[in-house]
Structure 1
Amino acid sequence: MRENLLLEEAQEVLLNQARPLGKTLVPLMEAFGRVVGQDIRACDNVPPFNKSPLDGYALRSHDTRKASPLNPVRLTVREEVRAGCMPGQEVVPGTAIKVMTGAPLPAGADAVIKYEDVKEGENCLEVYQPLKAGGNIIQAGDDITQGELVAPQGSLVSPALAGLLASLGLSRIPVFSQIRAAIVSTGDELMTPFEPLVPGKIYNSSLYSLEARCRELGALPVILGNVPDRVEAVAACLQQGLATADIVISTGGVSVGDYDVVQDALSELGAEIIFWKIKMKPGSPLIAALKDNKIIIGLSGNPAAAMVTFDLVAVPVLKKMMGQNQLLPGKTKAVFLDRFDKPSPERRFLRARLHRRNGMDFVRLTGEQGNGVLKSLVACNVLIDVPAGSGPLKTGQQVNAYITGNINESYQQDFRSSLMRIAY
């Protein structure tokens, strides 16, 4: 068993053990949030035909070459074509065909003119300007060309991708199998929120934070609940998790106290302990093990420490098992807007929120940074990476941060602010 690994070493060790599950076909409406199991290429052009992007008239640009306000060109209208209908006639010299938005372009036409740019008469129209070939035409394949890679293996099915796949007529999508993550919390002091609180005990928060995070990632949580600090009880619960899920996540019982029994429970279970402890704060007492080719990760019992290490250590493992390509959290450099007066003899991760102003990234702490303080995680979307041996952080200094939450809102706000400045 290895001890006191760097974060990057722990990530590498576990990612080397993780394997994607099998693949399956699911209906398109069930594919949202799943991971594409194989490269998907377009079987046809989108759109599959040349079409009109507006209500107007399809015509031959050559017929309009001498058109002017004083010398309009008169064309005979042969028919009208709505979206979803095929033209019955083609455009020949001296004629036009009325088309609605989305209607297929009739044969012989090479341009479309807007309704408002012509004068309509009885089965005819007048054109007052010359048109260029290809004007106001959406060409077949403008959106997607046949054979184009539209969804690489490992990409997430977003709402936009679901619509794109539907535009190709795909009703069943190849995806990686959804993983099941068993979650258990150890501790005699824990109670569920559905029970009246007993003096000396606390409500279990980590179980619900991790459950919600798993759902957000697209994994199916298997909730095993609370288990007392007894070696046999913890071992039995971990075994239940192995039997019902693809990975087991526990919180609590991984430090060196008299009632920290997870390590003994893993030995009782016959699991191979891969490593114990990571050189970071919070969440140093993390343990990882293997049993029946399944990974067990034991996190700190402190709620904030559990969430920080879950995001940095467990989430990459879950993503690999789900078949995703981008496993590790993204990184950014930002300007620190607060003060943090404590030195950091050990590597430390601070909960913060990213803001963007004038195209620059800034971070501000989201509150108290204690191991058990869950409140500062609510607004947190980045973790500031403070190297071991650092002194206090000063306002205005540049820091590195891991992106663990949604930063889109920060960028959208900066974009809206830019638009307001331009408007004024």
Structure 2
Amino acid sequence: MRPLDEHRAAALALAHPLTPVEVGLDDAWGTVLADDVRTDGPLPRWDNSAMDGYAVRSADVATASADAPVVLRVVADLPAGSSSAPLLAAGTAARIMTGAPVPPGADAIVPVEVTDAGTTTVEIRAAAPVGAHVRRAGEDAVAGDLVVAAGTLLGAAHVSALASVSAATVRVHRRPRVAVVSTGDELVTPGSPLERGQIPDSNSWLLAAAVRDAGGTPVRIGPVGDDPAALRALLGDLDGTVDAIVTSGGVSVGAYDVVKAALRDDPGVEFVPVAVQPGKPQGLGRLPGGTPVFALPGNPVSSFASFEMFVRPALLRMRGLADVERPTVVAPAGEQWRTPPGRAQLMPVRWVRATGDAADPAARLDADAAAGPAARPAAGAVVVRATAGGSGSHLVTRLALAEGLAVIPADVDEVLVGDLLTVLKVTP
């Protein structure tokens, strides 16, 4: 069997950052910047007021106080956005709003709270040293400063920074379009009447949502029946029209394993057993047109865990991200369970309070289920299996309880209470 890390490396080797495209700022959020963005001038562009008040010459108000105010003649009114630049002579002031350019001759701002305005004059009741409440040009950045670096995942603050330097468009790596194909004659669309032997197609919805969560654009196709020729034709039509294809089901050793039958003669695709539980049967490679294909097992927990391990990192790399790993935490186990010999285990887990009844994790699990995830403590918590069935690959409804995925190394035969586990954080 192929080790888990080796198969992850093979999956990542299929992925490369997608060709950059030019997008407007409306479409930039959530994408990865392809080029450095630098300032073409100082920020702020000019000295401007940090307060609503009066622009003054500091020398004129050096002696001002509440008991001995200074009276200045008001010669201008400067709202934010004003292009007016009146020269302030000695003994004059300009009423100014926050953000408005400081007029020539002024070197300080007196806040409106320490003034008393007349019709054409203003009474200043406090001194203002040079530079008081003035935002200097270039205080934020000077020409040529790096604003946002290539490889940055653009959030709201980044988009704001790009707008502040007038970057109306930017080059970003586009989101990968990923075809999601679920296979199996037993699958029917959710909401359809079920006949004996049929089940709702949950995998295509699971994987499409996982693609979207990874920053891709899913193209959900399914369910597709167990006809190798039809599936081969479908994959041929998709090859070259999407950036990746993810299939679920039909990769094991059964008589109706349609994905394996459809692609077994394709030299660019391999099917291998991986030393992991769940998710032992896996397939991956490139179709003749160069499109990466990830063939995942069909049991829902297997599909979920396999996507997390092998597909999600590849999609993040396609988006241009250097860090493709989920955030992890190290947490103690709150209960004991066996692990499969010689295989890594991917155990869906959830957080619970570490209470004195460690001998009864099921009772503790029930108590925390009632409290809800928001009630779990930030410290002093342990992880337990998301469901008593553990990593059973068919337990799709119980998968909704999982808040993390504990990765148990292949050389561990049993998890004991208190063992420190590495947990992938798969929920916000």
Which category of TM-score, normalised to the shorter sequence, fits these structures?
0.7 to 0.9
Q: TM-score, normalised by structure 1?
A: 0.85
The structural deviation recorded for 1:358 is 5.8
Distance 1:231 1:45, change over 3 A: same
Q: Does 1:284 align with 2:260?
A: no
SS of the residue 2:307 aligns to: helix
- 1:195-246, CA deviations, whole angstroms, 9 ceiling, x for partnerless residues? 3222111011010111122223332222331222333233223223314322
SS of the residue 2:317 aligns to: helix
Structure 1 counterpart of 2:299: 302
C-alpha contact 2:14 2:285 (8 A) present in aligned 1: no
Of 149, 172, 179, which residue of structure 1 is paired with 2:176? Answer: 179
Q: Does 1:341 align with 2:341?
A: no
Q: Does 1:382 align with 2:379?
A: no
RMSD: 2.5
The structural deviation recorded for 1:313 is 0.8
Distance 1:21 1:91, change over 3 A: same
Structure 2 counterpart of 1:152: 149
Structure 1 counterpart of 2:355: none
The structural deviation recorded for 1:374 is 2.6
Q: Does 1:401 align with 2:397?
A: no
C-alpha contact 2:349 2:406 (8 A) present in aligned 1: yes
Q: Greater shift after overlay, 259-268 or 373-382? A: 373-382
Q: Does 1:94 align with 2:91?
A: yes
C-alpha contact 1:25 1:173 (8 A) present in aligned 2: yes
Q: Greater shift after overlay, 24-33 or 279-288? A: 24-33
SS of the residue 2:406 aligns to: strand
Structure 2 counterpart of 1:373: 395
C-alpha contact 1:333 1:401 (8 A) present in aligned 2: yes
Letter of the 1:222 partner, please give it: V
Distance 1:363 1:144, change over 3 A: farther
The structural deviation recorded for 1:27 is 2.4
- 1:134-162, CA deviations, whole angstroms, 9 ceiling, x for partnerless residues? 22222334444432222222222323322
Distance 1:140 1:182, change over 3 A: same
C-alpha contact 1:227 1:237 (8 A) present in aligned 2: no
Q: How does 1:318-329 map to 2 (within 5 A)?
A: 318-329=315-326
Q: Does 1:38 align with 2:39?
A: no
Write the distance in 1 (CA, Å) between the matches of 2:273 and 2:259.
13
The structural deviation recorded for 1:254 is 1.3
Structure 2 counterpart of 1:130: 127
Of 219, 229, 244, which residue of structure 2 is paired with 1:232? Answer: 229
Structure 2 counterpart of 1:312: 309
C-alpha contact 1:334 1:360 (8 A) present in aligned 2: no
Write the distance in 1 (CA, Å) between the matches of 2:350 and 2:40.
43
Count of equivalent residues:
401
Aligned-pair identity in percent equals 31
Structure 2 counterpart of 1:196: 193
- 1:99-123, CA deviations, whole angstroms, 9 ceiling, x for partnerless residues? 0122111122222121112233342
Name stretches of at least 5 consecutive residues in structure 2 with no aligned partner.
352-372
Write the distance in 2 (CA, Å) between the matches of 1:225 and 1:391.
38
Write the distance in 2 (CA, Å) between the matches of 1:199 and 1:275.
31
C-alpha contact 1:344 1:389 (8 A) present in aligned 2: no
The structural deviation recorded for 1:395 is 4.8
SS of the residue 2:134 aligns to: coil
Structure 2 counterpart of 1:223: 220
Write the distance in 2 (CA, Å) between the matches of 1:364 and 1:59.
67
Letter of the 1:22 partner, please give it: T
Write the distance in 2 (CA, Å) between the matches of 1:143 and 1:194.
56
Structure 1 counterpart of 2:358: none
SS of the residue 2:264 aligns to: helix
Write the distance in 2 (CA, Å) between the matches of 1:390 and 1:258.
33
C-alpha contact 1:367 1:375 (8 A) present in aligned 2: no
Structure 2 counterpart of 1:205: 202
Of 7, 15, 19, which residue of structure 1 is paired with 2:16? Answer: 19
Letter of the 2:397 partner, please give it: K
C-alpha contact 1:312 1:329 (8 A) present in aligned 2: no
The structural deviation recorded for 1:274 is 4.3
C-alpha contact 1:246 1:294 (8 A) present in aligned 2: yes
C-alpha contact 1:224 1:241 (8 A) present in aligned 2: no
Letter of the 1:383 partner, please give it: L
- 1:60-94, CA deviations, whole angstroms, 9 ceiling, x for partnerless residues? 23333333333333322221100111233123333
Q: TM-score, normalised by structure 2?
A: 0.85
Write the distance in 2 (CA, Å) between the matches of 1:219 and 1:373.
26
C-alpha contact 1:224 1:237 (8 A) present in aligned 2: no
Structure 2 counterpart of 1:273: 269
- 1:383-414, CA deviations, whole angstroms, 9 ceiling, x for partnerless residues? 122223435545554321123332xxxxxxxx
Structure 2 counterpart of 1:412: none
Q: Does 1:253 align with 2:273?
A: no
The structural deviation recorded for 1:194 is 4.7
The structural deviation recorded for 1:306 is 0.4
Write the distance in 2 (CA, Å) between the matches of 1:133 and 1:230.
81
The structural deviation recorded for 1:124 is 2.5
Structure 1 counterpart of 2:349: 352
C-alpha contact 1:42 1:145 (8 A) present in aligned 2: yes
Structure 2 counterpart of 1:47: 44
Write the distance in 2 (CA, Å) between the matches of 1:276 and 1:264.
14
Letter of the 1:334 partner, please give it: A
C-alpha contact 1:351 1:376 (8 A) present in aligned 2: no
